[in-house]
Amino acid sequence: MAIMAITASVIVSGSYEISHEKILKNQQNQQLATLDELLQNSNYDKIIENFNSTDSINIIENSEPRPLYIAIRNNAATAVIYSAGSSQGYNGPIDMLIGISMDGNVMGVRIINHRETPGLGDLIEIEKSDWITHFNQKSLIDPPLSEWKVVKDGGKFDGFTSATITARAVIHTVREALINFEKNKEKIISDSLVSSIKINYE
C-alpha cells in the first residue's frame, strides 16, 4: 500500500509539473501575442523587459513588482507597455497591459485577468465589448487629468450600468500609468537600454 501511495504521489506530482509548465508557456505566448497586438502601430524590431519596481504600476498591495516592456527599433525606444494591476475591481484584482507611445498617447489597453461579474464587469474584455478601445489615443492632455473619471463622477469616460466600480478601477490604473510615464520617461528609457532582458523579436 505504501509503495502504491508513493507511486501515485510521484505520478500526480509529475503530472502537475508538466501541466504547470504548459499553463505558464501558454500564458507567456498569450502575453506576447497581446504585446504584439498593442504594438501593431509601432515600428520595432525587439521588445525588452525591465523589472525596475520604480517604473511599475501596481495598485495591488503586497504584490511583486511588475515588468515594464519597451519596444525598441534601431536602439531607440518606440513605445512602453506597462504590466499593471488594480485591487479596486468589484470582485478582486484586475490585471492589464497598457501601451503608451513615446509622445504620451495611449496605444491600447487589454485586460489580462479579472474576476468581474459576467455580463456586467467583464465588458472590460475586448472580446466582450469595445469599451476598452476608448482609451486609444488618449493622454494627460486629452482629456485633462481632472477628467480621467467616469461620466457619473464628472469625467469623460462612460461606465457600465451596474458596474461603475469596475470602470473606475481600469480608468484610474490607465491614468496612473500615463502619470508614471510622464514622470519617469527618460529614466525608463535609459534603464531599459542599459539593463534589460530581451524577450522577443530580433
* Cα separations in angstroms, 48 against 28, 76, 96, 190: 14, 11, 18, 12
Flag whether pLDDT at 150 surpasses 90. Answer: yes
Radius of gyration of the chain (CA): 19
- For residue 143, whether the previous peptide bond is cis, meaning omega lies within 30 degrees of 0, is yes
pLDDT given for residue 191 in this prediction:
63
pLDDT given for residue 27 in this prediction:
58
pTM of the model: 0.78
pLDDT tens digits, one per residue of 60-69? 444 567 788 8
DSSP one-letter code for 116: P
pLDDT tens digits, one per residue of 65-86? 778 888 888 878 889 899 888 8
